[in-house]
């Protein structure tokens, strides 16, 4: 008998998230049971977590009974968030696939909101955007963030106000096209994914997340912010060159047999 695909996959990349992933999964399990829409569909939950010295994997396994379908994927030694997301996205089974951060900076009620928008069929990709002037308190960070986003628009041809929010939903088709061509394995992967989408004429819809909250310990905290910003500039140059060379353009839809199991 042919196996029916889940309606929705929710993917959570989790590197050394021992202290947060349990609470996140508990709240997600509650949402999937109580939400009027999500409780009526088949949902697959994936945690993509590389090897680490903490107890992230043990915490995930301890929540298995709370879900109808929870999978822990281990992509190997730590390499970057982009690799962990790509690994999970290409192994997802859902007709729609959402990846979200483990820190719940974007509140979970938006899962249902995004899925409702996906069902409308307006676009193959739906992404969350934030008001960066509101959320970034320092002038330097606002300046660098908005300069970076302006450069992203020029380099990629994707005119969105915020490319980096970790809450994005893809149709099965757009997931295969975008993530099979992803080459940036660290923080700049969001920018490359959206560039690949635009190169292949995939519709992108944005939803403003007004209740997003910055969580301590992120990649842009303290001195890490400047290092991440300069790294992103180098990745933008790389993305722009690939766009000019049409590296991202798919000749055809990615066949199922070419994707990892």
Answer for the pair 250, 202: CB distance below 8 angstroms, yes or no.
no
- 110: its two tokens: 């938006």
Locus of tokens 């009526």? 40
DSSP annotation string for 109-174: HHHHHHHHHHHHTS-SEEEEE--HHHH--SHHHHHHHHHHHHHHHHHH----S-S--SEEEEEHHH
SS3 for 198? Answer: helix
Model pTM score: 0.90
Given a cut of 70, whether residue 175 has pLDDT beyond it is yes
Locus of tokens 């606002």? 142
Least confident of 175-179, 213-217, 252-256: 252-256
Tens digit of each residue's pLDDT (9 = 90 or more) over 93-145: 999 999 999 999 999 999 999 999 999 999 999 999 988 766 556 665 666 67
Instruction: State how far Cα 52 lies from the chain centre.
Output: 21
Domains contained in the chain, CATH given: 8-258 (3.90.550.10)
Q: Which helix (H) or strand (E) holds 41?
A: none
Least confident of 36-40, 122-126, 185-189: 185-189
């Amino acid at each position: 008998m042919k196996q029916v695909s889940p309606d929705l996959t929710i993917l959570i990349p989790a590197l050394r998230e021992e202290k947060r992933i349990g609470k996140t999964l508990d709240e997600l399990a509650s949402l999937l049971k109580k939400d009027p829409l999500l409780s009526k569909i088949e949902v697959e939950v994936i945690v993509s977590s590389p090897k680490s010295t903490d107890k992230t994997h043990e915490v995930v396994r301890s929540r298995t009974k709370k879900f109808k379908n929870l999978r822990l994927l281990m992509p190997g030694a730590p390499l970057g968030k982009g690799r962990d997301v790509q690994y999970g996205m290409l192994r997802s089974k859902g007709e729609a696939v959402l990846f979200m951060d483990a820190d719940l900076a974007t509140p979970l009620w938006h899962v249902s909101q995004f899925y409702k928008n996906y069902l409308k069929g307006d676009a193959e990709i739906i992404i969350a955007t934030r008001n960066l002037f509101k959320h970034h308190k320092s002038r330097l960070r606002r300046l660098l963030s908005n300069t970076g986003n302006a450069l992203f628009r020029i380099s990629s041809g994707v005119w969105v106000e915020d490319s980096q929010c970790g809450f994005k939903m893809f149709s099965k088709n757009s997931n295969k096209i975008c993530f099979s061509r992803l080459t940036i394995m660290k923080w700049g992967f969001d920018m490359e994914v959206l560039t690949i989408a635009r190169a292949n004429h995939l519709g992108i819809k944005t939803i403003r997340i007004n209740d997003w909250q910055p969580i301590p310990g992120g990649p842009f905290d303290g001195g890490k912010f400047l290092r991440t910003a300069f790294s992103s500039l180098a990745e933008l140059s790389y993305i722009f060159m690939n766009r000019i060379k049409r590296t991202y353009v798919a000749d055809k839809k990615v066949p199922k047999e070419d994707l990892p199991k």
